[in-house]
Structure 1
Amino acid sequence: MAVLFAKMLHTDAHIIYVNHTTYSDKRLLTRLILRNVPVVAVGEQAKNNAENFFHVPGNRIAVIPNAIAEYDGEFVQVPQIEEERGKGKFIVTNVGRLHPQKGMHYFVEAAAKCIDDGLSIAFFIVGDGPLRGELERQVADLDLADHVHFMGFREDATNVMYQSDVLAMSSLYEGLPLTPIEACSVGKAVIAPDIEGVREVVQNGINGILYEPKNPDALFSAIKTLYRDRDLLKTYGGQAELVFRRKFGIQPFKDAYLKYYEAL
């Protein structure tokens, strides 16, 4: 709708639509609105969505991957995390809006399996959203209140990831998610569902583990692997930082956008 309003208000301006994720609704309306509008896709999955679902010609789509600047804040100890680490706990964090897309209930199920298996792990959920009450009830029902901690929305999510041992995702779908890029930027291995978009950041067996989506048993198994093998965890973390610097640094992102705008 923003593109439609822009067309109405700015008839002489260049209008560019940035496709950040994958969509499966408003197909006919979107095709009409995006007619003759250039599209920037944040990843290959977002490009495929624009091209195959909304029929935007491929020669009108440019792919410029999402990027983030390196964290320039202080890495300040997070009291809740330090308290659990002081008990000898391994720290697993999931960052995302508490929305059905993020599949957080699968994460909670996997946490329950880890605790039942005797793993000494503290789980942190960073984010807020409409499913918070439902997730808190799930945690209570599974008797996980001492193991799964809700941190709410935080401006310093990258700092939280830095304090963690591993980032675990449970999303159902993504375009090109920023969260695993942020984790890579601070040298953290990522456990993530094997879905398009995520695969552009997380390389299985290189900087993390990809597991079957919507499968808490598979997520549990991946967490257990890195819990048991700290050398492998360290190797993945080092590779994660290399992936970030090579592919998702802010300077290549800036250069690509400037080149794109100049070409208009």
Structure 2
Amino acid sequence: MNILYLNNEMTIGGVAKCILILAKELSSENKIFIASKEKGALLDEFKKIGINNISLYDVENKSPFNMVKNVIKIVKIVKENNIDIIHSHHRMTTLLAKIASKFVKVKVIHTQHLCIEDKFKLTNLALKNIRIITVSESAKRILVEKSNLNGKKITTIYNTIETSCKNKEVDTRLIELKNKGYFIVAQVSRIIDYKGVYDFIEVAKKTGLKCKNIKFFLIGDGPELDNVKKTIIEQNLEETIYILGAKNNVIEHLKYIDILLLCSYIEGLPLAPLEAFSQGVPVIATNIDGTNEEIIDGENGYLVNVKDTEGFKNRILYLYNNKEKFIYMKEKSKEIFYERFNHDKYIQQHRQIYKKLKNK
């Protein structure tokens, strides 16, 4: 079948990574197309497997004129490429695809990646009467309870990740500090407020005052990057916190990391913990919807309250000082990853949904 994946943009983030995994695995038996903004850090990865991006107008622009242009564009893509299924990964691209489906024969499916906190009516408008995949049971519950969507049309499929990477280059600062015997704690996320990046700085500051042998790394990029750099300098934390920027080979960097933090306020089912678990790295994260379906407290990591920087600090120091527990968690991280977030299961579940949708 011919499948069109829609998203706002193909950045180095969880959503685009999931689309890339599906495209790689399903391209041998299907014709795959993608459409998003003209620019995106992961577009080159799609090109490597022979998939070029078809440019959409900015879907965040909700003016009627812009929406009409995008609907016309999607209809054209469907007609020219005989698309059977549109799989959209963004609320607005799903709404546009649903409107387009009124003018051309195509099935639409949506993946909900976030546990939404607002815009429940818009979500209902965009997703009503179509097949939905959620990346966590929490995301499904919110769609049913808050957006009044039919739970029978919603299937939860836990995310997966690629456990290998051709790019083996790792930032030399990370390697040097690890080789000197420092204990490495990192957060991998967009540098944006709702990822708790300023809490991460506070955790690093508090922990550094208790133990000089622990160093912190922030891996990612985003709109708060300049402010975060400024905050680190203002608080004289340049020798405690290192910013590495966005990396397309996080897996390779995780091989040098002891603990992963995730200080987020909202998620769906974040990929960074899964990447960490696959490399035997325990995760300390906020106890929020989605994330708390990945972490079994005390087994593959710890859950702490949102903004509880003292709790993060205490958990880091506990694992640093208790090697036996730390080693146990490293082993459990890998074990739980392969039990619950299996790559083959992820692909097979999507195959089944596509087949049912096409034959309906």
Shorter-chain TM-score: which interval? over 0.9
**Identity of matched residues, %:** 29
SS at match of 1:16: strand
C-alpha distance in structure 2 between counterparts of 1:123 and 1:147, whole Å? 6
Name stretches of at least 5 consecutive residues in structure 2 with no aligned partner.
Answer: 1-91
114 and 38 in structure 1: CA distance in 2 versus 1, 3 angstrom threshold: same
156 and 72 in structure 1: CA distance in 2 versus 1, 3 angstrom threshold: closer
SS at match of 2:316: helix
SS at match of 1:15: strand
Task: Please say if residues 187 and 262 of structure 2, whose CA atoms lie closer than 8 Å, have aligned partners that are also in contact.
Answer: yes
User: After the TM superposition, which of the residue ranges 225-234 and 174-183 deviates more from structure 2?
Assistant: 225-234
Task: Please say if residues 92 and 122 of structure 1, whose CA atoms lie closer than 8 Å, have aligned partners that are also in contact.
Answer: yes
C-alpha distance in structure 1 between counterparts of 2:147 and 2:325, whole Å? 42
1:219-252 deviation line (CA, Å, top 9, x unaligned): 1101111111122111111111111111112100
User: How far does residue 141 in structure 1 lie from its aligned partner after superposition?
Assistant: 2.1
SS at match of 1:262: helix
Q: Which amino acid aligns with 2:185?
A: V
Q: Which amino acid aligns with 1:151?
A: L
> After superposition, where does 1:102-181 map in structure 2 within 5 Å?
102-181=195-274
Name stretches of at least 5 consecutive residues in structure 1 with no aligned partner.
Answer: none
Residue aligning to 1:263? 356
C-alpha distance in structure 2 between counterparts of 1:48 and 1:57, whole Å? 10
C-alpha distance in structure 1 between counterparts of 2:95 and 2:168, whole Å? 42
C-alpha distance in structure 2 between counterparts of 1:197 and 1:100, whole Å? 18
SS at match of 1:163: coil
Residue aligning to 1:44? 137
Task: Please say if residues 66 and 178 of structure 1, whose CA atoms lie closer than 8 Å, have aligned partners that are also in contact.
Answer: yes
Is 1:197 equivalent to 2:295 in the alignment? no
> After superposition, where does 1:38-77 map in structure 2 within 5 Å?
38-73=131-166, 76-77=169-170
Higher RCO (Cα < 8 Å, 6 or more apart): 1
231 and 128 in structure 1: CA distance in 2 versus 1, 3 angstrom threshold: same
50 and 80 in structure 1: CA distance in 2 versus 1, 3 angstrom threshold: same
Is 1:8 equivalent to 2:99 in the alignment? yes
Task: Please say if residues 287 and 303 of structure 2, whose CA atoms lie closer than 8 Å, have aligned partners that are also in contact.
Answer: yes
User: How far does residue 74 in structure 1 lie from its aligned partner after superposition?
Assistant: 6.1
1:64-107 deviation line (CA, Å, top 9, x unaligned): 11111322436555411122123321111110000111001111
Cα RMSD (Å) of the superposition?
1.5
Task: Please say if residues 27 and 53 of structure 1, whose CA atoms lie closer than 8 Å, have aligned partners that are also in contact.
Answer: yes
User: How far does residue 25 in structure 1 lie from its aligned partner after superposition?
Assistant: 3.1
Question: Please, what TM-score do these two structures have when normalized by structure 1?
Answer: 0.95
Task: Please say if residues 175 and 197 of structure 1, whose CA atoms lie closer than 8 Å, have aligned partners that are also in contact.
Answer: yes
Residue aligning to 1:232? 325
Q: Which amino acid aligns with 1:7?
A: K
Larger Rg: 2
Question: Please, what TM-score do these two structures have when normalized by structure 2?
Answer: 0.70
Number of equivalent positions: 264
Task: Please say if residues 112 and 132 of structure 2, whose CA atoms lie closer than 8 Å, have aligned partners that are also in contact.
Answer: yes
Task: Please say if residues 163 and 251 of structure 2, whose CA atoms lie closer than 8 Å, have aligned partners that are also in contact.
Answer: no
Residue among 202, 205, 213 paired with 2:306: 213
Residue among 306, 315, 319 paired with 1:222: 315
Q: Which amino acid aligns with 1:246?
A: E
Residue among 329, 336, 345 paired with 1:243: 336
